[in-house]
Amino acid sequence: MSFLSFGSGEPQVELVEPAGDDSPVARAAQSGGGMHHMCFEVQALDAEIDAGRASGAVLVKAPQPAVAFDGRRICWMFTRERLLVEYLEAAKSGPA
């Protein structure tokens, strides 16, 4: 897994490759590949889940600590428009 970054505060693109011939990434690549999901960093993860549900999205994966993001919580939602969305909890600001 690699991240392509355009600078601080700019969008990042995560590049992934199959872990094996029978992995989900391999199956997606065999069917043409493409975008899998969008990820948004949010200040209030629980509020974002509530807002998503209010607009008809379904929580697919409940909030959990993400190893790739230093233990910040992530969750996954599936929108009415059939888009898989990952929400990443923003890092807490430390004391000044």
Measured distance between the N- and C-terminal CA atoms of the chain, rounded to whole angstroms = 33
pTM over 0.75? The answer is no
Query: Can you give the residue range of the structural domain that contains 30?
Result: 1-35
50 φ/ψ sector (left φ>0, alpha ψ -120 to 50, else beta): alpha
- 58 and 47 within one domain: yes
- Give the Cβ contact number of residue 66 at 10 Å: 15
Instruction: Give the pLDDT score at 17.
Output: 79
- 93 and 46 within one domain: yes
Please count the structural domains in the chain: 2
Amino acid at 51: A
**Which pLDDT tens digit goes with each residue over 30-82?**
888 777 788 899 999 999 999 999 999 999 999 999 998 899 999 999 999 98
- 89 and 67 within one domain: yes
- 43 and 24 within one domain: no
- Reduced to 3 states (helix: H, G, I; strand: E, B; else coil), residue 25 is helix
Quick one: pLDDT band at residue 8, thresholds 50, 70, 90? confident
- Give the Cβ contact number of residue 76 at 10 Å: 17
Structure-model confidence comparison of residues 95 and 45, the more confident one? 45
Flag whether pLDDT at 5 surpasses 70.
no
